[in-house]
Structure 1
């Protein structure tokens, strides 16, 4: 074997070693995970019957100090997972339930199925979701979100936040064309049990025409349904029209339906996307 052949083999071996180092070492030296803030909704909870507590944390009742100086707060935010599901992340901030620097965090599906449960830093302003929607990140610490299927394999398309009569509503749009609008943050004066109530459910065609059933609410009564229709505007705005129920002032009875009812025209203003 001549000198040039030996040099050639050494060069090839060095190239192989260098490639091996690049493929095995560099991934562990990758740049920071790209994330975006969750921007939680924050609710101060006064008692165990509050829907924000009973809906997500009622099993933690014995681990909550209701009179302690920390108080009891629930943080929550909806977002889309990488597989297309709409998931809810919620954190409980309360004495006993939280440690010195960490509080319990849960991620669940729309139907309440638990996806992830962990302890995370107690600074909600530093909670984020990775851009690829594969990780929940708290104070820089990533927590992998279990996936139920391949990317975009589920039917949820997007969620919009609507302003309606001083309240914030969450509108869910699905690839099937189904639409659901429910109360998310209530204006002053509305009963707390209205949070999460469905105001409209129906469908939307490819032209943006929305048709379905809206509901009016009266304390102590079942929601009263009525037919409405409208059209989704270019800026996401939505107006639904339909003869609305007229209730008996003393009972839950519906006396009839009228176009002049305050609920005959429902106006929703798009205030941004819910990530």
Structure 2
């Protein structure tokens, strides 16, 4: 799933290559991707892209005051091309959901929104105000702008497991499954620690890890071609997606906890005092 660093990099790419260009045409290959009916996508035609922004994991293209808001979900992606095909895509065929031409079709750049797999979550909204999108309106503070004291205040009193608190967008905006694994590993904290019961020193370490991991990821991602971002993300991960491999810090085997539709990875030596977590949803540390 694209998270804050990848979405920030995509926003920067469009900021550099798309701002100032005119939306010549929008092709909708899958009507289900559009979560708003009015304004119609055709109202983007002829508008200039004046700015791009990121709201948590949402990408925002400001087109003369009308916003195209995109959430890539788990398997969605934005594919930029310097010369888009002029032929309208065939509805319902393949992974393509939406195509935006930022120049004459067949003679200018633009991007495709695509989604792999059968479980569809890719979504786009056309709104006058980004906060008309329910997910944007409900976002908690962005993790790249929050201060240490604000971060501590957000966690105070929360009963969620730390993994859940970091990835719940209404609590903190921007972090997903992969980078939360990296942040917790860097901070040497258990995913199952209670968010509101951390000592001050643990909050300090978690906040420092949050900023370090995400800043490093953004710095690696910004400037990369969109097609390379997924590989760049994988290359920078130390525990996420590395089940069975040695922890780069202590050499212990990276372990996994699997749920019905996702999994997370951690190092028992670095994070849980050497005790593995049971592989079920409501696990506690094994004794």
TM-score relative to the length of structure 1: 0.27
The structure with the greater share of residues assigned to helix is 2
The structure with the greater share of residues assigned to strand is 1
TM-score relative to the length of structure 2: 0.26
